[in-house]
Structure formats: structure tokens, C-alpha cells
Amino acid sequence: MNKTEVLRLFDKEMRVEITYPPLRREETEHLVRHVSPTPDDSGVVLYSRLSEENAEEVIKQELEYFSSLQQSFEWKLFDYDQPANLLERLKDHGFTVDEEEATLVLEVAQAEELRSLVIPPEIRQITDSAGIDDIMHLKEQVWGSANEELAARLKRDLAENPEHLLVYAAYSGDRAVSAAWMYLHEDTSFGSLWGGSTLPDFRNKGYYTALVAVRVQAAQERGYPLLMVDASPMSRPILEKKGFEFLAYSYPCFFEYK
């Protein structure tokens, strides 16, 4: 993998040019933001090009802008974003920083083992709201809490754009025991992988690998050459063993509107 070229493509397609309906994409001289049409949902600053000289002023402008909308937002920061102390500057302005994530990328054409893996019959594609409810029940069992916002978003996206959201779950009888999903981002080279939750009693049975493989195979069928994932420290070594390569660290920085 030519990481310099992949990073250039990632910035162009997944940070600068991408859209996330129903969010409204706005580009200024210094950044690209996505704004929710309602204050109930959050916005995001997805890309910035700042300097030591203008960083403070631009951060203040964004805080004022989202405050005027009464909207919380995330500043998605990558370790190569400038200036080098941007993360500390955001913290100083009241942003809360979540756990560091590793952005990993897989070249689908090089993932021969995953592309050739036979998908077990327990893996089913989810195509309706009832299947999403099964997955949310699974996630609540794994993580101890429900995520109603995620459930609503997945149901909406599955209904409105089923060609670009592919959801899968492993079932034991009528019970979802492992699940994951993938967005195929229109007009880009990338699919993004999400989820990957498995009930404790059903771990080490190959479901995680099968869920990665079924998404790799779907991406290949639909002509997407690259897959990306924001990996936690726990999942990163597993994915790297399957051929994913490290691209950068990212830091989700949140500002909660009061």
C-alpha cells in the first residue's frame, strides 16, 4: 500500500468532499463542517487547515457558530492536522476528548484470505427494522446500555439508502449474537466498517472474522477498492492480522452545547 497516496485520497474523499445527508455540508476558508438541520442532532467539523497564527480565532468562530445554532458538535481531529498542538488548544476551549482511535485501511484486492472465506450460514444480511432491533438488543447486552440515536439512524439509512448501508448479524436460532455493518460512501473509493459486537458466550467461534469477510466480499462486488475503520486498541491488532494497515490516529473532540 502506498500510504502517502491513500492518505491523500482519504483526506480528499472522506474529509473534504464527502456529504452526510441529512447533514448540511459547509466549507469555509479554513475548514469543512457538517451541520444538522435540527438542534437535537450534533454537527461535526470533519476537516481543518489551520496554522499557529489563525487556530485560536478559527476555534472561537466555530464555537460561536454552533452556539448560534444551539447545536453540540464534534471536531474530528487527526494526528497530522496542523498546528501540532491543535488537540491541546481544543481541550483548552472546553472540548472533551474521547479515546484515541487508529484509522486502519485495507486494500480489498490484497485481502485474498478474506475474499475467499466461505461465509457460514449463521451470518444473515439485515434488511429491516426488526433486524436492527435484534442488533440493538445484542449491543445492550454487551455494553449495558441502549443507543436509541444509533438505532434510529441505522433504520433511517437502511430504509432510505439500502445500497450503501449493509448490515449483517450472526444468529443462534432467532437470537442475534454478533453484528456489524458497513457504509459504502457514494462517489468515493471507501467503505467504512462499524460495529463488531459479540456476546461473550459466542466469542472465538469465527463470527468476527466472518463479519469482516462478508463486508470485504460485498465491497469487492460493488467496486469499492478500500475499506477503513476507526479501531479501538482492542480491535486494532485483530484487524492488522487480517491485512488492515495503520494510517493515522484520530481524536473525537466533543463540545456539548449547554
pLDDT (0 to 100) of residue 147: 86
pLDDT for residue 51: 97
Fold observed for domain 112-242: Aminopeptidase (3.40.630)
Using CA atoms in the order 230, 231, 237, 239, what is the torsion angle rounded to 10 degrees?
-60
Q: What is the pLDDT of residue 185?
A: 97
Say what the pLDDT of residue 38 is: 86
**What is the domain partition of the chain in residue ranges?**
18-101+251-255, 112-242
Which pLDDT score, from 0 to 100, does residue 80 have? 97
Please give the pLDDT value at position 39.
77
**pLDDT score of 145:** 82
| 199 touches 144 (CB < 8 A) | no
β-partners of residue 246 are: 104
Contact status, residue 39 vs residue 70, Cβ threshold 8 Å: yes
Amino acid letter at 47?
Y
Cis ω for the linkage preceding 37 (within 30 of 0)? no
β-bridge partners, 99: none
78 phi and psi angles, rounded to 5 deg: -110, 155
What does the pLDDT profile of the chain (258 residues) look like in tens digits? 899 999 999 999 999 999 998 899 999 999 999 999 987 789 999 999 999 999 999 999 999 999 999 999 999 999 999 999 999 999 999 999 999 999 999 999 999 999 999 999 999 999 999 999 999 999 999 988 878 989 999 999 999 999 999 999 999 999 999 999 999 999 999 999 999 899 999 999 999 999 999 999 999 999 999 999 999 888 899 999 999 999 999 999 999 987
Q: Which of 71, 80, 21 is nearest to 47 (CA)?
A: 80
- How far is residue 160 from each of residues 40, 84, 165, 183, measured CA to CA in Å? 20, 40, 9, 13
Res 252: pLDDT: 96
pLDDT at residue 1, as a whole number: 84
Whether residue 200 has a cis bond before it, omega within 30° of 0: no
Q: What is the pLDDT of residue 149?
A: 87
Assigned C-alpha cell, 8? 491523500
pLDDT at residue 246 in the model: 97
- Neighbour-count burial of 181, counting CB atoms closer than 10 A to its CB (0-12 exposed, 13-18 middle, 19+ buried): buried
